[in-house]
């Protein structure tokens, strides 16, 4: 025979519902955050830094140490990403100016450094690739 519900059971059920709500809310929040873009910095094909870009974020400066005193300073803001400064011989990466959309990248060939913007979870990038 079924027992009538006790107060203790009720507490457990409320707890369970609350847990589910928190979980769903968390997933929702992650989902919307995932809609934003990420910036990935690679040195010689290996990821050395990555960060999520979101509205209201403080600007981030990341210094890539490419060995032998070679460096590139990447400036990341919500609006755009650029290489602010580098000591590469051709300065092509600095002259590149900013990138703004998922699928775009800045390449410093002499230092083998790549800075790219990737689309967030479930988001379609503006372009899948660029014929340059």
Partner 1 sequence: MKRYQRIRALIIAIFLLGVALQGCARTAGPQEYRKDIFALNTWVNIRIYTGKEGPDILDKAIKRIEEIENRMSVTIQDSDVSRINSNAGKQPVKVHDDTFEVIKKALEYAEISNGVFDITIYPIVKLWGITSEHPRVPTEAEIQDKLRFVDYRNVVLNEAEKTVYLKEPGMGIDLGAIAKGYAADEVARILKEEGVVHALINMGGNVVAMGGKPNGQPWRIGVQDPRAEGARRHIAIIEVMDGSVVSSGDYERYFEEAGKRYHHIFDPSTGYPANSGLMATTVVAPNSIDADALSTTVFVMGVERGLELVDKLEGIDALAITFDKKIYTSKGLKGKLIVTDKEYELQS
Binding-site ranges for partner 1 (CB under 8 A) = 3, 6, 8-9, 12-13, 15-17, 19-20, 23-24, 27, 30-31, 42, 44-45, 89, 92-93, 95-99, 101, 103-109, 112, 114, 125-132
Sheet holding 71-76, edge to edge: 60-65, 71-76, 81-86
Smaller CB distance to partner 1: residue 56 or 132?
132
Measured distance CA(123)–CA(54) in Å, rounded: 14
Token pair 């210094």 is found at 63
**Cβ 77 to partner 1, closest distance in Å?**
16
**Cβ 56 to partner 1, closest distance in Å?**
24
Smaller CB distance to partner 1: residue 18 or 57?
18
Nearest alpha-carbon partner for 29 in 54, 64, 59: 54
Smaller CB distance to partner 1: residue 29 or 58?
29
**Cβ 65 to partner 1, closest distance in Å?**
17
Q: Please state whether beta strands 60-65 and 46-53 pair in parallel, antiparallel, or not at all (unpaired).
A: unpaired
27's enclosing H/E stretch is: helix 7-34
**Cβ 53 to partner 1, closest distance in Å?**
17
């Amino acid at each position: 025979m079924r027992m009538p519900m006790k107060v203790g059971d009720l507490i457990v059920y409320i707890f369970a519902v609350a847990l589910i709500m928190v979980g769903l809310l968390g997933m929702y929040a992650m989902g919307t955050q995932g809609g934003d873009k990420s910036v990935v910095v690679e040195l010689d094909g290996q990821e050395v830094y990555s960060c999520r870009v979101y509205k209201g974020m403080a600007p981030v400066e990341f210094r890539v140490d490419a060995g032998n005193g070679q460096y590139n300073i990447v400036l990341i803001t919500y609006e755009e990403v650029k290489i602010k400064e580098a000591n590469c011989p051709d300065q092509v990466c600095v002259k590149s100016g900013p990138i703004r959309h998922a699928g775009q990248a800045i390449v410093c060939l002499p230092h083998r450094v790549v800075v790219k913007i990737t689309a967030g979870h479930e988001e379609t990038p503006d372009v899948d690739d660029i014929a340059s």
